Structure 1
Amino acid sequence: MRLYRFLTAIDDATFCHKVTAALNKGWHLYGSPTYAYDENEKIMRCGQAVVKDVEGEEYEAGKTKLSDW
């Protein structure tokens, strides 16, 4: 199965650690990161898509917990 996640956080070390943790679990960057200004909080937010291929497993919507991989 191929899994997809979109990681988000404020633009600080939290975001970098979240992406780094995913990469160390075998996820791969998918596309470029994105940045947006949160007008309500007056901060920048980051996002990065990641994907992972898992052999021998089948995806089940509502049952496959992406953060477990």
Structure 2
Amino acid sequence: MLAPAVLTILTAQQPDADPEPEIIALTVAEIRRLLNAFFLAAALPPEHTLHWSTWRRTSQARFRQSHYQRRQAK
């Protein structure tokens, strides 16, 4: 019960996103995945988990921007 509240608070406290971000803001799903990776599955080093999360969100931002450009071109 506490985890959804913490995730909602962390997401709400993030600054507003830029119109063309280089990386998307942390989502509730991403925060949940990071918490699981850090506290439940300690098989990978924290640096790897953070690097992977940053790479994933950067890729998502690039895909989102590409999607918006394609939709505007039509």
Q: TM-score, normalised by structure 1?
A: 0.32
> Between Structure 1 and Structure 2, whose CA radius of gyration is higher?
2
Structure with the largest fraction of helix? 2
Structure with the largest fraction of strand? 1
**Relative contact order: is structure 1 or structure 2 higher (C-alpha 8 Å, sep ≥ 6)?**
1
Q: TM-score, normalised by structure 2?
A: 0.30
